[in-house]
Amino acid sequence: MKRFISLSLVFLFTALCLFGCTNDKDTGDTTASPNTAEHSKVLFTMENGDTFTVELYPEYAPATVANFLKLTNEGFYDGLTFHRVVDNFMAQGGDPEGNGMGGSDETIPGEFSSNGFASNTLSHTRGVISMARSNDPNSASSQFFICYTDDCAFLDGNYAAFGEVIEGMETVDAFLKVERTYGSDGAVSSPLTPIVIESAKVIG
């Protein structure tokens, strides 16, 4: 997959297609009723023992939430990393390849307005979690990112925001303290020491 790179916001907007690869896999039917996963919470425990909790909002992105819960319950995220961390932007993880090019076995429909899904009005503000994808609006699978600032709102309508960090945002902030080098996105984004998710568990 061709990845577009830049250090400006305009570039970052175009380049957000680097958030996950095109897997050439069938789109899975993971749509769920909001009542089956109403505001579930996922506890992430990092390898160093730090934790953060994400609350999921199926009223904005039901298929996205269902897919995320399915992968979490399967233990998919256990042992994976946050492979891309960008100052004043976001932390991205959930790639089994660890380089931004991998994903799970299924892709899901892009639940955002530019893809004809108008009900997702959740803005990309600090702490919001959203799905990574390639140029294909229906290519998201397992990769996700967490916004560091309210300035991420320029992504609204083009990426499927589906929840937010409700506890432990300081853990996500601490990723920024890890020494990083230039990544394939052209930014200082690639951690020199792996930022490892020890486990991700549904807790409610």
Dump pLDDT digits (tens) for 27-72: 443 333 334 448 999 999 999 999 999 999 999 999 999 999 999 9
Q: Which letter does DSSP use for residue 63 in this model?
A: H
Domain ranges of the chain: 9-202
- Per-residue pLDDT, averaged over 131-143, amounts to 97
- The whole-number pLDDT of residue 204 equals 84
Say if residues 120 and 111 touch (Cβ distance below 8 Å).
yes
Instruction: Give the span between the Cα atoms of 82 and 196, in whole angstroms.
Output: 7
pTM for the full predicted model: 0.85
Determine what percent of the chain is predicted with pLDDT higher than 70: 82
Give pLDDT tens digits for 148-173. Answer: 999 999 999 999 999 999 999 999 99
Fold of 9-202: Cyclophilin (2.40.100)
- The whole-number pLDDT of residue 145 equals 98
Residue 26 has pLDDT above 60, yes or no: no
Instruction: Give the span between the Cα atoms of 129 and 198, in whole angstroms.
Output: 19
Residue, of 76 and 5, whose pLDDT is higher: 76
